[in-house]
C-alpha cells in the first residue's frame, strides 16, 4: 500500500486520534466497486502529499464500530481529521481533482 497504512480498531487511537496534523481515512470494503476505483487515487495522494498528509485505510466490514461512530453509511467515505477531530468528509467516488482541492483547502 505504499504510503497508505491499514488501520483497525486496535490501532485507531495511535494512528488517527493521536496523530499530529491532517489525516485522511479511507473507509472502504473489499466488495465495494467504487472503493476499488478510488484506491489508486488514494495511493497517489498519499505519495504526492507525503510529509504533509497521513493517509490510512479502514476496512468497514472488519471494523464496524469505527464506521458506526463516524456515521459512515456509504462507502467509499473519506474523512479528514486534524488532531483527532473530524473536520471534513467526502462520500462516494470523486475525481482526483476534487480530493486535491479538499486537501489543499484543509492544509492552508
Catalogue the active-site residues. Answer: 32, 35
Provide the β-strand partners of residue 5: 56
Pairing of strands 53-59, 22-28: parallel
Contact call for residues 8 and 63 (beta carbons, < 8 A): yes
H or E element: which one contains 69? helix 64-69
Radius of gyration of the chain (CA): 12
Amino acid at each position: 500500500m505504499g504510503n497508505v497504512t491499514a488501520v483497525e480498531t486496535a490501532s485507531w487511537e495511535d494512528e488517527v486520534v493521536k496523530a499530529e496534523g491532517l489525516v485522511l481515512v479511507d473507509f472502504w470494503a473489499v466488495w465495494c466497486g467504487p472503493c476499488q476505483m478510488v484506491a489508486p487515487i488514494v495511493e497517489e495522494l498519499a505519495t504526492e502529499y507525503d510529509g504533509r498528509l497521513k493517509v490510512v485505510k479502514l476496512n468497514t466490514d472488519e471494523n464496524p464500530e469505527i464506521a458506526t461512530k463516524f456515521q459512515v453509511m456509504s462507502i467509499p467515505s473519506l474523512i479528514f481529521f486534524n488532531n483527532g477531530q473530524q473536520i471534513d468528509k467526502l462520500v462516494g467516488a470523486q475525481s482526483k481533482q476534487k480530493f486535491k482541492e479538499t486537501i489543499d483547502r484543509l492544509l492552508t
